[in-house]
Structure formats: C-alpha cells, structure tokens
Amino acid sequence: MRAHLSTLLLLALVVIAVAAVGLTGSSVVERVAVDTLIKLVVVIGLSVFIGNSGILSFGHASFAAIGAYGAAWFTLPLAAKKIFLPHLPAFVLATQLPLPGGAAVGVVLAALAALVIGVVIMQLSGIGASIATLAWLAIVNTVCSNADSLTKGTSSLVGLPLATGIGTATASALLALTVAYVFKFSRYGLMLQASREDEVAARASGIAVRPLRLMAFVLSAALVALGGILQGHFLGILTVSQFYLEFTFLTLAMLVMGGMRSLSGAVVGTIVLAVAAEILRFLAGGFSVGGIVVPAATGLREIVLALIMLAVLLIRPRGLTGGHEISLRSIRF
C-alpha cells in the first residue's frame, strides 16, 4: 500500500484543485465544480465494485435513490415533512437532523439494501450478475415511483436544505477517495482483483470470491448512496427519475472512459467528461463569434459526448489511464 501512496496524494491534489477552481470562479463555475465533485463520489463508489471485481453493475443508481430519500426523511424541515410526506412514521415526522446525521441514515439504509440483494446477485457472475443488477434497478425505480407515502411517487420532493456546498462536496470526495484506496490495496481488494483476472485460479488458491464481491458491493453502494444524498441536498429537490437510466449510464461512461481498473481512471474520466459536458452545454445553447451568431442546437451535447467517448474507446480501449494508477514514478517516466 505504501508503494502506491503517491497515487492517493496526487488524486487528492486533483480533487483539491477542482475545489479551488470552484472557489475562485463565478457562482456558475462553483456550481459546476460542486456537481463534478458529487459525480466523483459516485464514480469512485462504482469503481470499488466494478474496478476490483470486473463485474459491470447497472444497478447502483438504486442505492443513490435509497440513500437520498432515506436522508431526506430526516433532513426535511418538520413543517415540510408534514405537508409532503404526512404518512411517514411518527418518530420520523418529529425528527430533523443536520446533513451529517441524515447522510448516516441514508448510507446505512443503502448498505443494508445492498447486503440483502447482494447475497442473491453474488451467486451469479459475469453478464448474469450485470443483468441482475439492471433488474434490481428497475424494481427499485418502480417501487419508488409508486410509493407516494415515502417518495411522493413520480412527483418532486422539494424543500430539502441546500446543505451541499464546495466544502462538503470536497470533503466527501476525499473521503470516498481514501476509502476506495484503502480497500483496493488491502488484502481483500488484492484478492478480489485476483479473482477478476482468473476466477477459477483464485478459487483454487483458497480465495472466497463471493464474500469478497459482497463486501465490495456493499461498500460501493454506501459510497454511491453518499453521492445521491449530496446531489439531493445540492439541488434541494428529489425525483425518482433522476436516479435511473441517465444517471446510470453517465456515471458508467465516466468510469469506462477514464479506465475501469484504476482509481485514477475514475477521477480522470469524471473530470474530463464533466468539463466536456459543460463546454458542450454552453455551445448547444447558441453563441456568437465576431458578429457571427451560431444558433442553439438541441441534442448537440449528447451527440458530441457520445462521439468523444467512442473515439476514446477506439484509441484507448482500456480508458484514458489504460487501467494504470497515476504515481510520481509514472509521471517522471
């Protein structure tokens, strides 16, 4: 682990640099920086399971939803809860916690859900497990869309405290980065990576593959839930649809584009894609150069982002980092 300590320090500096840009820029730049850091928490969470196990998961957005709504039950102002969610249990309606307390509740709920469903999903491997995670996502989305007493169904839940600022987002990203780093280079993470390379050989060597995958799955779900909680308290509003397919494929694209098998890939892919998305959002809204007016182009952002990802994967199939970790030694080289 000590040999890779420079990786953690360099990635932490990248996170701090993003925060610094947000603090020194305009309010728009600050919002972009906070949103990027929140996405970074989610993508790092995905890498804990996907990167170490080699199993692609399409269901982690469900844990972001569970965490976000679980935290909202306790962070919403009492008056708002009685109006929007009057059928919650009495002790929930009478309790209001600050963001750290509500986040702890949401993360625990998501981790418990991951533990229960993970026991079933981890019986599978490869594409079977991936499809099972997608099915789980569909189940959670359907339940949340119809649970009016818990989530307001397909309506928006408004009134959440705007408690996610640049400081909170930065601290959360650094926490997620540290947790992912410690797990990856621990004996459990290394054994899980061995099973990713050759599951049969790993089992023959005495590695308990399923318990290790379950451990990574639960830890990954907890970090993704933290990202969902931060997003809800950044926007001040929750909808079930914001934690479904668009959320899933955007965060997966960030991980794949950077490099699934490295923590550095999660960080690099998130920042590159987030910056590219914001530039394209500006261009798609129309602009003028030297008196020449370029009209708004609906869908330009999505099309160009898809082309960028396609080009990156064609040129570097293992992502921008090639699946390797950034370190002082690699930079010197």
Backbone angles phi and psi of 237, in degrees to 5: -150, 145
Query: Which tens digit of pLDDT belongs to each residue from 176-195?
Result: 999 999 999 999 999 999 99
Amino acid letter, 73 = W
Query: Which tens digit of pLDDT belongs to each residue from 192-228?
Result: 999 998 888 999 989 999 999 999 999 999 999 999 9
Express as a percent the part of the chain with pLDDT over 70.
Answer: 94
* Exposure b/e, 223-247, CB count within 10 A at least 16 = b: bbbbbbbbbbbbbeebbbebbbeeb
- On average, the pLDDT of the chain sits at 90
pLDDT at 299: 74
Contact 218, 114 (CB under 8 A): yes
54: left (phi over 0), alpha (psi -120 to 50) or beta: left
pTM of the model: 0.93
| Secondary structure (3-state) at 106 | helix
Query: Which tens digit of pLDDT belongs to each residue from 36-65?
Result: 999 999 999 999 999 999 999 999 999 999
Query: Which tens digit of pLDDT belongs to each residue from 162-174?
Result: 999 999 999 999 9
pLDDT at 277: 85
- Predicted confidence (pLDDT) at residue 1 exceeds the cutoff of 60: no
- Could you tell me which residue, 307 or 300, shows the higher pLDDT? 307
